Chain A
Amino acid sequence: MLSEYEAVIGLEVHIQLKTDSKIFCGCSTAFGGEPNIRVCPVCLGMPGVLPKINKRAVEFTIKMVLATAGTVHQESIFARKNYFYPDLPKGYQISQYEFPIATGGAVIIKNKDGEQKRIRLSRIHLEEEAGKLFHDTDDRCSYIDLNRCGIPLVEIVTEPDLRSSEEAYLFLSKIKQIAEYLDICTGNMEEGAIRCDINISVKSKGDKNYGTRREIKNMNSLKFIKRAIDYERDSQIQIIKSGGNISQETMLWDEKVGVTKLMRTKEESEDYRYFPEPDLMRLEITPEWIERVRKTLPELPDEKYRRFIRQYGIPAYDVGVLTSSRNLADYFEVVALVSKQPKLASNWVMVELMREIKETDISRIKVRPENLGTLITMIAMGKISSRSAKDVFAEMVRTGRNAEEIVKAEGLKQISDKAKIEKVVKLVLDNNRVSVRKYLRGKEGLFGFFFGQVMRETNGRAEPGLVNKILMDELNKRRGQ
């Protein structure tokens, strides 16, 4: 019933930049802690203060623009967005309006079937973050924390190119990934480091004209963004189907109930009275500056993806997972290069390592990638069995020691000595005469049992291929007896 309609979605994504200091003063941008401790006269909007632009914030913005193939303007202008709210000490937000730092550019998203879609960006600009209000602590009053006030924000505005909540999700994930690769944002959505406003309308499929849009404000969870879009799309379709009209309204997502609620109508919408910020000069970004920044750009997700496929010959799915974060990709790359076993490295990183970092951050894991590389080399060379390797890895996770050390200390080296294995095999078969007879009479399933016994006797250190062969030979010998 819903399929004849489709959503038309545009996003305004806000990314908190992780510069050391705020955009217009020297205060730290750290997260958490006591309220109102990372503030100064400038970010508190005391009388007589003036803003001073943080060059690093501009550079971070340029990085984002270059990474999304936008055009950096040599001259841009900061503007005041005027409105009253207690989280905004000056009564205006310093933002950009008519002349943003950049326009154009695009981000490529890829769905799970590998289909690509180009999402055009209309602009990227730099602005300051507001403070935070707490309404739930006390019924008589609200509290204000201005620590966040003045943290630099990059705003990325898309064209209305997205058609589903899934695409919006992919787009945001991609932006988050790029920001993480550029090392300009913590990417921590729970802390509000990435947030977005969603503009959404619906239209009949094939209709060239867009419907009237509503805006959902201030979303900061990928999961809720999907839900909010789906809810809003369905509710707009319902309204249209029942003969109603959508009016241009601003909505808020109520995550407890799972619905969007009216925040304000068009008539109530604010007139922000933008005008050029007279306390700041025009922002000049010379071509030389842009080139200097360009030189510092890391390999970006799409490039890395293509290179991994080319260089390591591992499946596209694996590459997708491994390049999802720059730290993970870098980690994998060291493991692969040290071990010279890309496929094995990919398996180990994607299974064993990913299991460990589910709980923690990759930067906190004690296993150094070159050590994991060595462990994999040992597996590949048959010096250690896969099973013992897992024990060694567990030990590495716990202590951070390197693989060779652990193997030596724990005596975990693989047993490849034919005579030694023969001895164990004989012992196992002698101890299980009944089973051997059953096997010889045709119950071949028991082979696995003997194999397991041998492995147990050798603490899993016996080289499996060798065990297999010797066990087979020995059983055959006994067939004749």
Chain B
Amino acid sequence: MDSDFEKLKAREIAAKIHSRVISSVEVTKYFLDRIESLNPEINAFISFDHEFALSQAKRIDNRIGSNDITSPLMGVPVAIKDNIQVSGLPTTCASRILSGYKAVFDAGLVEKIKRAGLVIIGKTNLDEFAMGSSNEYSYYGPVKNPIDNTKVSGGSSGGSAAAVAGGMVPLAIGSDTGGSVRLPAAFCGVPAIRPSYGRISRYGLVAFASSLDQIGPFALDVTDLAMLLSIVSGYDYRDSTSINVPIPDYASILKSGLNGLRVGIPKEYFGDGIEQTVRLAVNDVIRHLKNDNVELVDISLPTTKYSVAVYYVIANAEASSNLARYDGVRYGYRSDSIESLFDLYCNSRSEGFGQEVKRRIMLGTYVLSAGYYDAYYRRAMKVRTLIRDDFNRAFEKCELILSPTSPSVAFDFGERLVDPLKMYLSDIYTVASPLAGIPAMSVPCGKDPSGLPIGLQLIGKRFDEESVLQGAYHIERMMDVV
């Protein structure tokens, strides 16, 4: 049997499975072994279940045996971020407060993944309730960067990024509220996309900030990513914010690259605070695009400077309400020391939530309080509209916006824990697009001298994931040549 499946793309593995060279069970076993041996070090998975995975793989092999092939990635294992419900498996959100909680239904996207015949192999680590940029805020410990295990993986979908980058699974699903898919993708050197708000059903995704949360896939290259995006996208009547628009076959349109697409370079994304290596790598890409005769346009997104502030007001406000249900009454963690109803709430939540989550709940509660609502929440919502308008104006001149994904490469553990503000600024380039509900992705664009990956961000118009993926494909090919 062929070994080194981790060096193959998902579609290559699928092709082998579909032509019966190998079985889905064998592939699944292979990756389970990889997880067994690598996870103790990397900590990308919170849980994985041999029996659960193999019984799916067996069923899928049977379907393939009777030529019932429902997707080009059928039979390939996929990892799911542990804030997404997979019926029968635990959902921890990397929080103590959900200890012992087992999902009672499948998320909308999990239904699609099952229909497409992918094998759910395990649940990946994250910052508690997806709140963080480094994946250090997990009750189950931080995720290490598989490229350099002294560095953080990025967050909050650090487990998904590290699992794919570390060859523990060829495909993974994350979620992105303010950069949680793109940042770890950049830090771990894999492509990942956060599609338009409403493109993928949020039903079954544990809410952090409902108006910003969006699920996003990870893969080893842009083609796999495009294929996975086609599988998980689509309207879900149970999610009122999901939009019924056609789902293109993304993989089929990649080859046209940046042909005929204008790329906007926003000056606000290239200011102070970018690490030199990141600036050089991104500028390199821009130079190459120029050589490729891609039309580059200088644009301005003046409200960018407000986006981190606006994001943290709105996201925390929604989070303070979304996390109210974890109260120790019906499920999850309940404190042992309870004398009264107040104790039940107060002690369960104080003991069940981690520092960062509590910080955000308090900030969010504050900005919604009587007397502060207008100054914070209402004003943030107004600026959010301005940010959206900014993007709309920019998109009159271009189809794509290009920027670094993060001002830095993966940093050291503990480096930003002491300074929450510095941690929040890791998201400076990624928070604006979620506020506008538009698609954005990170694609690898080189490495710094120590070998740490650098990510480049492409932002597109609402529901124009095609252009974003085409641009990423173009850059990916360019990097192969370089």
Interface locus among B12-20, B157-165, B324-332: B324-332
Query: How many A-B Cβ pairs are below 8 Å?
Result: 93
Interface SS of A by simple majority: loop
Binary interface encoding of chain A residues 69-102 relative to chain B, with 1 for a CB under 8 A from any of its CBs, else 0: 0000000000010101010011110000000000
B154 lies within 8 A of chain A by Cβ: no
Q: A89 contacts which chain B residues (CB < 8 A)? A: 325, 329-330
A474 lies within 8 A of chain B by Cβ: no
Q: A46-B104, A49-B203 known; A91 and B325 CB under 8 Å?
A: yes
A300 lies within 8 A of chain B by Cβ: no
A78 nearest CB neighbor, chain B only: B240
B85 nearest CB neighbor, chain A only: A48
CB distance from B98 to the nearest CB of A (A): 7
Query: Contact at B368–A50, with CB atoms within 8 Å?
Result: no
Within 8 A of B (CB), among A247-290: 271, 273-275, 278-281
Interface locus among B180-188, B206-214, B248-256, B292-300: B206-214
B236 nearest CB neighbor, chain A only: A50
Interface SS of B by simple majority: loop
Interface residues of B, count at CB 8 A: 44
How far is A271 from B209 in the complex, measured between Cα atoms in Å? 21
Query: Contact at A46–B331, with CB atoms within 8 Å?
Result: yes
A279 nearest CB neighbor, chain B only: B210
How far is A47 from B370 in the complex, measured between Cα atoms in Å? 28
B205 lies within 8 A of chain A by Cβ: yes
Query: Contact at B377–A278, with CB atoms within 8 Å?
Result: no
Query: Contact at B345–A84, with CB atoms within 8 Å?
Result: yes
Q: A86-B329, A278-B211, A279-B240 known; A50 and B317 CB under 8 Å?
A: no
Within 8 A of A (CB), among B358-383: 365, 368-370, 373, 377
B381 nearest CB neighbor, chain A only: A276
A51 lies within 8 A of chain B by Cβ: yes
A41 lies within 8 A of chain B by Cβ: yes
Q: A46-B104, A47-B85, A278-B211 known; A271 and B370 CB under 8 Å?
A: yes
Q: B85 contacts which chain A residues (CB < 8 A)? A: 47-48
A53 lies within 8 A of chain B by Cβ: yes
B321 in complex: contacting residue of A50, A80, A280, CB < 8 Å: A80
Q: B52 contacts which chain A residues (CB < 8 A)? A: none
Query: Contact at A82–B324, with CB atoms within 8 Å?
Result: yes
How far is A421 from B267 in the complex, measured between Cα atoms in Å? 114
Query: Contact at B329–A279, with CB atoms within 8 Å?
Result: no
Q: A246 contacts which chain B residues (CB < 8 A)? A: none
Query: Can you identify 14 A-B contacts, CB atoms within 8 angstroms?
Result: A44-B330, A47-B93, A47-B325, A48-B204, A48-B206, A86-B327, A91-B321, A91-B325, A92-B324, A271-B369, A271-B370, A273-B321, A279-B240, A280-B240
Task: Give the 7 A-B CB pairs with smallest separation, nearest first.
Answer: A91-B324, A273-B368, A278-B210, A278-B211, A48-B204, A47-B206, A45-B325
A44-B330, A273-B320 given; name 12 further pairs at CB < 8 Å: A47-B101, A48-B105, A50-B202, A50-B239, A53-B240, A82-B368, A84-B324, A84-B345, A90-B325, A91-B321, A275-B317, A275-B368
